């Protein structure tokens, strides 16, 4: 059959072949209906492989090199096997739901799955905008599954180390890296932020840390000029924006001792330097390897660098520090994230507070026990009868 695309006589003629006449007639009716509704899509475009649409989406606009590399990694590890060779128009909401189930079966956490689904939705949204497909299958996949729920999930008890476990892990870390680990556990910094501490970012008198840099493994680093180094800006913050977090007194001493033992380098006075390449920043992968080895040596291999941030927030909550302050210190987008991930820990702080107060006043109350006399209540009926 032959038909014209929207545009009247100016519309492009399209020729399609069908084995059965009824199939051709049904398609012709659908084409006219779609043209009337303004949702017509050229069926040949819908046969474009997902991989081609992905490449077009990825290379549209300006993407930072680090983000570009991250997207490529997500594609190869999570999307390629399931979608790469399939026609973009043949991927349905059921296919997206099956992919989500596969991710869950692999043990991936709900927040990570939701982030990757948002990425998929952006790709399909691009295909809709370029009139390659007529709808976004991510918009209808399991519409009630996450209804009313945040992509963030509450942190589990076994993800939060005790103080002794934190001390045990840090004791196994190379001495030239221990201050970075204390920055994570004592100030709530992310690993890349901890590696980017410098003398200029520490307010020594006020014991406050300015967090406005992070070590990145990809992209052009504006300060060092190398591919790996410090980049201005942190997660959820603009490039020139800093966040401030308090430095506990013992951690200030750790920073000072680190400088006395290992010195600083560069004009900004960076605290941490690559052990193999002087004048370069350490890599995130090196810190991660050191953490894994230290956690294993300490007998707590289940912990990750993020566990130290969990420890920091948990201790802040137990100290009854307001959520909005904690959210600012650790660099969350807003307090809803902090509430969702850590809000349930506040109930434990109530019990800890009641136990502490009970222990404090128990001795003082002992002398008052048994001294409360029953009040003399007058029965009005008996008084009137007498």
Average pLDDT over residues 154-166: 88
Angle at 198 between CA 268 and CA 321, to 5 degrees: 145
Instruction: Tell me what pLDDT residue 60 has.
Output: 83
Residue 172 is predicted with a pLDDT of 96
Q: What percent of the chain has pLDDT over 70?
A: 67
DSSP, residue by residue, 148-200: T--SS-PPPGGGS--HHHHHHHHHTS-GGGHHHHHHHHHH---HHHHTT-BGG
**47-139 and 158-345 in the same fold:** no
Which of 205, 209, 155, 200 minimizes the C-alpha distance to 182?
Answer: 209
Q: Measuring CA to CA, which residue among 90, 85, 87, 95 is closest to residue 117? A: 95
| pLDDT grade for 351, boundaries at 50, 70 and 90 | low
As to burial, measured by CB atoms within 10 angstroms (0-12 exposed, 13-18 middle, 19+ buried), residue 208 is: middle
The C-alpha atoms of residue 209 and residue 47 are separated, in whole angstroms, by 54
Q: Is the pLDDT of residue 285 over 80?
A: yes
pLDDT value at position 6?
A: 45
Q: Give CA–CA dist 289/157, Å, rounded.
A: 24
At 110 the pLDDT is 82
Of 160 and 341, which is predicted with more confidence?
160
Residue 206 has a CB neighbour count (10 Å cut-off) of 10
Running DSSP on this structure, what letter comes out for residue 345? G
Q: Lowest-pLDDT range, 21-30, 183-192, 301-310?
A: 21-30
Give residue 361's pLDDT.
Answer: 61
Show Cβ contacts of residue 303 under 8 Å, excluding neighbours closer than 6 positions: 159, 161, 165, 169, 295
> Which pLDDT value is given to residue 370?
58
- In this predicted structure, the answer to whether residue 136 has a pLDDT above a threshold of 60 is yes
- List the one residue out of 129, 126, 131 whose CA is nearest residue 45: 131
Give me the CATH topology for the region 47-139.
Answer: DNA polymerase; domain 1 (1.10.150)
- Which is more confident, 338 or 158? 158
The ranges assigned to domains in the chain are 2-36, 47-139, 158-345
pLDDT over 50 at 146, yes or no? no
**How far is it, in rounded angstroms, from Cα 224 to Cα 279?**
9
Question: Beta partners for 244?
Answer: 210
- DSSP bridge pairs for 231: 214
Buried b vs exposed e over 28-39: b needs ≥16 C-beta within 10 Å?
eeebeeebeeee
Question: Measured on CA atoms in the order 331, 285, 252, 159, is the torsion positive or negative?
Answer: positive
* Cα separation, 218 vs 256, whole angstroms: 30
Whether the Cβ atoms of residue 109 and residue 153 lie closer than 8 Å to each other: yes
**Separation between Cα atoms, residue 386 and residue 378, nearest integer Å:** 12
Encode pLDDT of 358-372 as tens digits: 665 655 555 555 555
Whole-number percent of the chain with pLDDT over 90? 38
One of 3.30.470.20, 2.40.30.130, 1.10.443.10, 3.40.1110.10 is the CATH number of 158-345, namely 1.10.443.10
Average pLDDT of the residues in 304-333: 88
pLDDT at 254 over 80: yes
Residue indicated by tokens 């380098």:
265
Helices (H), the chain: 21-37, 50-58, 65-74, 80-83, 93-105, 110-129, 163-171, 178-187, 191-194, 249-262, 284-297, 305-318, 323-330, 335-342, 346-366, 380-385
- Cα 230 to Cα 220, 275, 309, distances in angstroms: 9, 16, 21
User: pLDDT tens, 232-247?
Assistant: 555 555 555 678 999 9
d(CA 256, CA 260): 6
Q: Is 304 exposed, middle or buried (0-12, 13-18, 19+ CB in 10 A)?
A: middle
* pLDDT value of position 245: 93
Q: Is residue 301 very low, low, confident or very high in pLDDT (cuts 50, 70, 90)?
A: very high
117-126, 187-196, 370-379: which range is least confident on average?
370-379
- pLDDT, mean over the chain: 78
């Amino acid at each position: 059959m032959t038909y014209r695309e929207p545009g009247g006589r100016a519309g492009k003629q399209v020729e399609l072949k069908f084995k059965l006449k009824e199939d051709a007639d049904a398609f012709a009716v659908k084409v006219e209906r779609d043209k009337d509704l303004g949702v017509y899509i050229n069926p040949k475009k819908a046969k474009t492989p997902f991989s081609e649409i992905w490449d077009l989406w990825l290379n549209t606009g300006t993407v930072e090199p680090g983000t570009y590399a991250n997207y490529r990694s997500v594609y190869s590890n999570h999307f390629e096997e399931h979608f790469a060779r399939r026609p973009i128009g043949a991927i349905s909401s059921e296919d997206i739901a099956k992919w989500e189930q596969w991710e869950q079966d692999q043990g991936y956490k709900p927040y990570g799955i939701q982030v990757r689904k948002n990425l998929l939705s952006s790709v399909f949204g691009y295909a809709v905008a370029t009139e390659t497909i007529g709808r976004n299958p991510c918009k209808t996949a399991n519409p009630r599954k996450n209804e009313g729920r945040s992509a963030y999930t509450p942190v589990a008890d076994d993800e939060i180390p005790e103080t002794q476990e934190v001390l045990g892990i840090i004791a196994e870390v190379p001495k030239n890296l221990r201050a970075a680990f204390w920055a994570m556990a004592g100030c709530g910094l992310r690993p890349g932020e901890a590696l980017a501490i410098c003398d200029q970012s520490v307010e020594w008198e006020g014991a406050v840390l300015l967090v406005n840099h992070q070590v990145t493994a990809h992209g052009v680093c504006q300060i060092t000029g190398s591919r790996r180094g410090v980049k201005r800006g942190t997660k959820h913050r603009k490039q020139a924006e800093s966040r401030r977090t308090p430095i506990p007194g013992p951690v200030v001493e750790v920073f000072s001792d680190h400088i006395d033992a290992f010195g600083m380098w560069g004009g900004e006075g960076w605290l941490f330097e690559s052990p193999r390449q002087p004048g370069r920043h350490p890599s995130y992968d090196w810190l991660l390897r050191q953490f894994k080895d230290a956690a294993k040596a300490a007998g707590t291999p289940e912990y990750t660098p993020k566990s130290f941030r969990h420890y920091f927030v948990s201790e802040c909550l137990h100290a009854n520090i307001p959520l909005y302050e904690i959210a600012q210190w650790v660099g969350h987008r807003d307090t809803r994230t902090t509430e969702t991930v850590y809000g349930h820990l506040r109930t434990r702080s109530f019990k800890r507070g009641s136990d502490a107060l009970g222990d404090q006043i128990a001795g003082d109350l002992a002398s008052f026990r048994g001294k409360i006399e029953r009040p003399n209540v007058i029965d009005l009926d008996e008084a009137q009868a007498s």
